[in-house]
Amino acid sequence: MGLDEAADRVESAAGPTVVGEVPLRKYLASLRADGLTGFRLALPAPGDPLGLSGPPQFNSAAVDAGEAAIAVLPDRRLGLVPSPDLRGSSYVGVRLAVHEAGPVRHDLPSVAEAEQELSAVMRSATEALASVEGPAQGRPERLAAGGAGLAPGYPARAHRVASLATRLSAVLRLADERGLTSAQHATRGAALRELDGAVRRALVAAHHAVFEPLRGS
């Protein structure tokens, strides 16, 4: 995917996007001129800095946002952290803050490892949620199919893992804890935390699959 297409896809999903005060397309062009080699995805959560390697200021901002992108340049890395950009009553977009970022992490799961973990966690979460009697249980098998929107050219396994992770992430949005006992609350909470971690690792692995050596799908 070219940078122009990347900008189109970002803005079609999130609305007008600026980096500081610079339009996203113009900012990406400046990164290209500086030798941009790729972007890395980070999907951290409190206690799990997935995809992050410092410094603390960038880590803290990314954890608060729940996501970040890391631009990899020949001599440095730049962390881009999104926040809502609200101007008046009708303009809704995204503003990306720029931070210095640490070295690229190489200890993240491969897409094959993430697929295995996601399948195992899906089974255990389904069993745990099925054991909880309460209103409107969100279960993986009830979810409609959906795609994560990976660009063409990714390995088939990456598309498969990203699609499944996107579908499972709906479980977290559907969770409703009203009417549960404290024990049921604890059971559901543990299952959803485990699922959340597996979903985030799967999405990161899928997006980073283009950096892995070619293997079978």
Give residue 148's pLDDT: 45
Q: How confident is the model at residue 29 (pLDDT cuts 50, 70, 90)?
A: very high
Q: How confident is the model at residue 38 (pLDDT cuts 50, 70, 90)?
A: very high
Q: How far apart are CA 195 and CA 191, in angstroms?
A: 6
Give residue 217's pLDDT: 45
pLDDT reading at 53 higher than 50: yes
Q: 55 with 140, same domain?
A: no
Range of the domain at 72: 3-101
Please give the tally of structural domains in the chain. Answer: 2
Rounded percentage of the chain residues whose pLDDT exceeds 70: 82
Q: 27 with 88, same domain?
A: yes
Q: 18 with 65, same domain?
A: yes
User: Is 32 part of a structural domain of the chain?
Assistant: yes
User: Is 34 part of a structural domain of the chain?
Assistant: yes
Q: 125 with 70, same domain?
A: no
Q: How confident is the model at residue 115 (pLDDT cuts 50, 70, 90)?
A: very high
User: Is 216 part of a structural domain of the chain?
Assistant: no
User: Is 183 part of a structural domain of the chain?
Assistant: yes
Q: How far apart are CA 174 and CA 155, in angstroms?
A: 30
Q: Among residues 49, 66, 101, which one ends one of the domains?
A: 101
User: Is 106 part of a structural domain of the chain?
Assistant: no
